[in-house]
Amino acid sequence: MTADMWIALIILVGAIVLFVIEWLRVDLVAIGVVVALMLSGLLTVQESLAGFSSTAVITIAALFVVGGAMFYTGIAQVMGERLLRIAGTNETRLIVVIVIAVAFMSAFISDTGVVAVMLPAVISLTVTAKIAPSKLLLPLAIGSLLGGATTLIGTPPNIIIADLLRDSGLTPFGFFSYTPMGILIMIVGILFMAMVGRRLLPAHVPHRDVQSVETAEELIALYRLPDNLFRLRVRHNSPLVNQTIAESGLGQRFLVTVIRIVRPTEPQMLARLGEQRILLQPDEQQIHDVTDVVVQPDDILVVQGDGNAIAAAAALWNLAVQPASTSDQESLVTDEIGIAEVLLPPRSALIGKTLPEIRFGTTYRLTVLDIRRPGEERALNLKQTTLQFGDTLLVQGEWKNIQALKSRRRDFIVMGEPQGVSGGLNRKRAPIALLVLLGMLVLIVTGITSVATASLVAALAMVLTGCLTMDEAYESVNWKSIVLVAGMLPMATALEQVGLVNLVADGFVDVLGDFGPRIVMMGLFLLTTLFTQVLSNTATAVLIAPVALATANRLGINPYAFLMAVAIAASTAYVTPVASPVNTLVMGAGNYRFIDYAKIGIPLVVVVMLFTMVALPFLWPF
């Protein structure tokens, strides 16, 4: 091996190690790869940055926007809900319907987005059917992965492999090139889940029953909010007077949550009869958005928290402690005010930060009453807890502010469909979004324009027609994935230029070539699926697809079967919870453990691989 080969190999191995141990974000590692390639001299500056202008990267970004429009107009939600209505309560039928539903949706829009939309609906379904969430949520994730493999735009690896063929001077895979094998694999996956997989699915009892709660009243009872509800009356000589709630530090210092402020109002004189006055005592002023409110004497702070913490706060600020009234308990949920649970998805900007760092109350105009984490029985500190993916926040505030969280799909998943939060979607634009999507598919299928052109036209049309705003378009793009692809594409270029791709291809031919192309293809499938379990499927496709192409050239055979095998294997991210964001997304809600994924994922990978080895050469002869 040459010195350049060793340098490229060190950069590649370093990146893979960092991907696996997750010391750094994957997009930061990808940028590090670009910088390393520049500094090492393996690639020029232009070559190192070429990934950011790649048609594959632009196409993937545009498709995120198109998919975002499907969510913001409510099309994805309506499709999911209607399909689930026919499922009934039979466990096997539920599994089959869920897999089919998410597979169909994932063929055209982001699988992570589909799972995020379907997750609350499926959890509610488990309550109706009286089935453990762990019986349905893993099939939900697997279905999205099966569906992504059925079309060109279903998953980024398919786009990357099609671009590789085009750049190599070969006819690229078309929109439906993946469909025959994809549908066959999907049928195999559904049959496996219905006959074998359902027996391997765990029946875990959730750490708590919150995931299955549907109404605000049930949440109040479950979190025992009335037990921790008190009134604090502000005395005239209290140091709290003329301070805002935010300045007082009640929440940060004592973990006391101010739910609302009851402010007495001055009586109004209606008439005077001699020395007698007739006064009207108006209703007390109820202030719910309390963060920036300046406290006045005689204000009543309705607070929630531990009794000892509230007593300490009252002593410091010279406040009179009073028991909560029945009206205080009833006011937790009204036509204007409510509570809801929100789950933090993988790409949430809140992950890695504490509530004070986020300034949650000021930013979202809501109060966090509790934080729950899968596997954690103890109460989490609202001030010091660093938020993680899968955390559930119990929030309280005006319904309109809770509803606003539904539009921030990157940061929050509002669990269930709490009363007062049914809006938030631009449903009037749904027919337009559907027409734009169909128009894009027609352009791609007929070949009138390239995939990149069609996807960009569709993304632009979605914004211009008001299906989503430009800000929502930016929020729809998974920028971490975009940077990851753009950073790893130059790595593939470097591996080819220094000769490592050909070296690995020669190794495949030398070791497995005598056994025939089917066995070589199986070796490529196994290598790809192994990488997919620890890396992203996108990064895996970027690295392995050139090896598959070079191996086919060494054997002197048609490369399409090898590249199709890599595409299928890149979507077999069933074995670990970190293999795909959809696996991680269902982990907390289903109370899954690592072994649960392996028990069902390994047999499914084996079945898919064996079926692929048998069927693929008939569709794409060597």
Instruction: At 437, list the tokens.
Output: 């999507």
pLDDT of 590 above 90: no
How many whole angstroms separate alpha carbon 464 and alpha carbon 285? Answer: 44
Burial label for 143, CB within 10 Å (0-12, 13-18, 19+), is: buried
High-pLDDT (> 70) share of the chain, %: 84
Q: Work out the average pLDDT over 89-111.
A: 84
User: What was the pLDDT predicted at 425?
Assistant: 59
pLDDT of 618 above 80: yes
Burial 525-554 (b: 16+ CB within 10 A, else e): bebbbbbbbbbbbbbbbbbbbbbbbbbbeb
Query: Please, how many CA atoms are within 13 Å of residue 374, restricted to the half-sphere of its CB?
Result: 20
Q: Does domain 337-415 have CATH number 3.40.50.1970?
A: no
User: What was the pLDDT predicted at 210?
Assistant: 41
Judged by DSSP in three states, 293 sits in coil
End-to-end CA distance of the chain: 31
Quick one: which of 584, 116, 208, 133 has its CA closest to 388?
584
Instruction: At 510, list the tokens.
Output: 């030398």
Burial 180-206 (b: 16+ CB within 10 A, else e): bbbbbbbebbbebbbeebbebbbeeeb
**Domains 216-330 and 337-415 fall in the same CATH topology:** yes
pLDDT of 213 above 50: no
Query: Please, how many CA atoms are within 13 Å of residue 117, restricted to the half-sphere of its CB?
Result: 29
- What are the tens digits of pLDDT across the range 439-466? 988 988 888 888 889 999 999 999 999 8
Q: Which range in 209-218, 344-353, 453-462, 483-492 is most confidently predicted, on average pLDDT? A: 453-462
C-alpha torsion 532→538→542→546, nearest 10: 60
How many whole angstroms separate alpha carbon 329 and alpha carbon 223? Answer: 13
- What are the tens digits of pLDDT across the range 540-578? 888 899 999 999 998 888 899 999 999 999 999 888 876
pLDDT of 297 above 90: no
Q: Is 577 in contact with 523 (CB distance < 8 Å)?
A: no
How many beta carbons lie within 10 A of that of residue 558, not counting itself?
15
User: What was the pLDDT predicted at 605?
Assistant: 94
Cα angle, residue 122 at apex, residues 121 and 124 outer, rounded to 5°? 65
How many whole angstroms separate alpha carbon 51 and alpha carbon 41? Answer: 17
User: What was the pLDDT predicted at 329?
Assistant: 62
User: What was the pLDDT predicted at 111?
Assistant: 78
pLDDT of 421 above 90: no
Whole-angstrom CA distances from 86 to 108, 127, 135, 204, 256 are: 22, 16, 18, 25, 46
How many whole angstroms separate alpha carbon 578 and alpha carbon 398? Answer: 36
Q: Work out the average pLDDT over 409-423.
A: 62
Q: Is 393 in contact with 341 (CB distance < 8 Å)?
A: yes
Quick one: which of 561, 552, 566 has its CA closest to 619?
561
User: What was the pLDDT predicted at 187?
Assistant: 93
- Residue 263 binned pLDDT confidence (cut-offs 50, 70, 90): confident
How many beta carbons lie within 10 A of that of residue 125, not counting itself?
23
Quick one: which of 339, 226, 234, 357 has its CA closest to 297?
234
Q: Which amino acid is at 540?
A: T
216-330 in CATH: which number?
Answer: 3.30.70.1450
How many whole angstroms separate alpha carbon 124 and alpha carbon 210? Answer: 11
Query: What sections of 411-478 are H helices per DSSP?
Result: 430-446, 451-464, 470-476
pLDDT of 261 above 50: yes
pLDDT of 469 above 80: yes
Q: Is 443 in contact with 457 (CB distance < 8 Å)?
A: yes
Whole-angstrom CA distances from 394 to 316, 340, 380, 385 are: 28, 6, 12, 14
- Domains of the chain by residue range: 3-207+433-619, 216-330, 337-415
Stretch (H or E) spanning 134 = none
| Residues composing the chain | 622
pLDDT of 209 above 50: no
Stretch (H or E) spanning 288 = none
- What are the tens digits of pLDDT across the range 471-480? 888 888 878 8
Q: Work out the average pLDDT over 26-33.
A: 88
- Residue 533 binned pLDDT confidence (cut-offs 50, 70, 90): confident
